[in-house]
Amino acid sequence: MPYRLADLVLYFFIYSFCGWTMETVLCSIQEKHFVNRGFLNGPICPIYGCGLLLILLVLTPVRDGITNPLYALPLVYVVGTVLASALEYFTSWGMEKLFHARWWDYSHYRINLHGRICLPISLLWGVLAAAFLYLVQPLLEGLVTGLYQAAEWLPALLADVFFLLFLVDLVISVNVARAVGKTLEQLDKWSELLRIHLESLKLPSREAILELLEKANVRFAGKGAGRSRERKERLAEWRALPEAALRRRLADAVDELRRRKEEVMAGTRALQRRMLRAFPHLNRQGKTTAAADLREYWAERRKSQKGEDREGKTGGPPSAGEPPQDSGD
């Protein structure tokens, strides 16, 4: 049957909400606390809306044209599996190119394609396609028909309102994702510099220390003209130092790098932290620990805050000199 544009928009948001509900329930059970799943802040996962809308448009003629379910169901299952898997693959690829990060990773599944899709999830897409097309979609069509009966203009109004809210949320979420990417990039830089300085302290001679620092300076050249010039000047100054003084400077630099890394983590905004919790496998491209370090930092902050809250309720004394902590939620 032909669908009006307002109908398709409403179906998109209903499918997206159902997908968000399923993902949120499963992830919250796994994490043992509530997790607002999805790229957007609102209660929708657009990939489910897009996938099921694509399946609806492509496979409704199959459902309505082939009356024998023994022939129609296998075709719906196979085509639904292929369509949804292709959409998931290219969505993952596109988000990686746009934000320079991997948002989900199926590499731990035995049969997967570049970690973007895997056989078990693809097979579940086929089940979801058949269930929605034959069981859920007729109910939704009845719901939308009821909206038209209540007021002819009501479906179009709801579609416009939902779409406007969706666009606002999308703009906010894209900016948050870019901020997350910049934060992870900064953490990677400070972590790498910290690793190099700690490794330098373990070297047996002044010459070996300077050689490693020179290699690091070449590696980081061009990553910020001001910082690069500052590193060159500092390295030139360190070359003139005796070994004992050089090691003291290195120890001071280690403390400074740790402070800067913690400043970056502490400055992470609430929406950025929500996005990190929503995508447990989110990380920058390449093997880095930035996202894991950031999650661990905020998990410790939340645990510390809960401990302070319990102390406050039981009348325990606050920690001397301890600054107030953000809950991270």
Q: Is the pLDDT of residue 326 over 50?
A: no
183-198: average pLDDT: 89
Confidence of residue 320 (pLDDT cuts 50, 70, 90): very low
Confirm if 162 and 13 have CB atoms less than 8 A apart.
yes
Confirm if 112 and 103 have CB atoms less than 8 A apart.
no
Measured distance CA(269)–CA(96) in Å, rounded: 22
Q: Is the pLDDT of residue 328 over 70?
A: no
Each residue of 206-230: pLDDT tens digit? 889 888 888 877 777 655 545 667 7
Each residue of 6-59: pLDDT tens digit? 999 999 999 999 999 999 998 888 888 888 888 999 999 999 999 999 999 999
- The Cβ of residue 5 has, within 10 Å, a number of other Cβ atoms equal to 10
Is pTM, for the whole model, over 0.85? no
Q: Looking at the chain, list the stretches that DSSP marks H as alpha helix, in order from N- to C-terminal side.
A: 5-31, 46-65, 69-99, 119-131, 137-150, 154-202, 206-219, 225-239, 243-266, 270-278, 290-313
Confidence of residue 234 (pLDDT cuts 50, 70, 90): confident
Model pLDDT, residue 233: 80
Confidence of residue 291 (pLDDT cuts 50, 70, 90): confident
Domain residue extents for the chain:
5-150, 181-313
Q: What is the average pLDDT score of the chain?
A: 87
Model pLDDT, residue 224: 53
Confidence of residue 327 (pLDDT cuts 50, 70, 90): very low
